[in-house]
Amino acid sequence: MRQKADEAKNAVQQQGWWQRISEAQQKLNQRDQVSWTKVLGWSLFTGVTWGTFVQVSHNNGFLPVYDYFKFTVNTPLGPAVESLLVPLLLAPIWLLYAWAVPLADTIFEDDEATAVAQRKAGSLAYNALNWGVIVAHFLLSSYLYLSDFPHWQIYAILYPLWWAQYKAFDNTKQGLFLGLLLAAGAPVVEMFIANVLGLWHYERPDLNGVCFWASACYAAYGHAVGNAGRYLVQTQKKA
């Protein structure tokens, strides 16, 4: 298995990334008969609905404070404040990661960690557990922030928690890269929203108007969305 993984890595280096991506896409389309209309359609629907509902656990209108397009979501714990911006921003994340994670898995399909991640993600119970941990992660981040914990303590708590989630629910090289990509990119987008557009703000930011420790939450979220994409692809393969 290790030899096959090394061969796949060498093939990437020799053929170039774009060619490998194209070949992986063809495998998913032709060999595995994956319907991307179904995968991306369900991802978009789930991201806008479930994603918006989960987001409430991360802020409830305080992390960040929404200045425009606010509305109320009724939850088991009572009404919660949200913004119409949330589903608009979550939709691209769900579409991208539901496509990119299965695609990256296909490139490294001979890697043992990838095979394990795909097999686990094929279980609905496993995905439910993953999202339960995400909600707990978000609730904890909200509690730490709203309880005025120093930012360095929040980093010290949330980053090890993200790493534990990565090891438990992904543990692949491609998953780590894509998680870190979202961790870096999402706060930059938030900086633009807060500082340039002025659509929301943080009462207690730590970097250029935002709470950059939220990158740990974004990385963990990316793994969960990626596993949702794996699940949608794996169910089609089983069928």
The answer to the question of residue 31 being in a domain is yes
What digits encode the pLDDT tens for the residues 93-111?
999 999 999 999 999 988 9
106 found inside a domain: yes
HSE, side-chain direction, 13 A CA sphere, residue 81: 13
Residue 175 sits at the vertex; the CA angle it makes with 231 and 32, to the nearest 5 degrees, is 40
Task: Please report whether residue 73 resides in a domain.
Answer: no
Instruction: Report pLDDT for 79.
Output: 76
Counted domains in the chain:
1
* pLDDT value of position 224: 97
Question: Quick one: tokens of 73?
Answer: 């979501």
Backbone angles phi, psi at 200, to 5 degrees: -155, 170
What is the structure's pLDDT at 1? 55
**How far apart are the C-alpha atoms of 71 and 44, rounded to whole Å?**
20
Cis peptide before 205 (omega within 30 of 0): no
Burial letters 162-185, b for 16+ CB under 10 A, else e: beebbeebbebebbbebbebbbee
pLDDT score recorded for residue 52? 85
Residue 63 lies in a domain: no
> Is residue 70 domain-resident?
no
Which parts of the chain register pLDDT below 50?
none
State the residue range of the domain holding 51.
2-58+84-238
Confidence at residue 239, expressed as pLDDT on a 0 to 100 scale: 63
Q: Is residue 115 domain-resident? A: yes
What is the pLDDT of the chain when averaged over all its residues?
A: 89
pLDDT more than 70, % of the chain: 91
Rounded Cα distance, 31 and 140, in Å: 43
In a domain, 74, yes or no: no
In a domain, 77, yes or no: no
pTM score above 0.75: yes
With tokens 């896409």, the residue in question is: 25
Spatial neighbors of 157 by CB under 8 A, at least 6 apart, are 140, 144
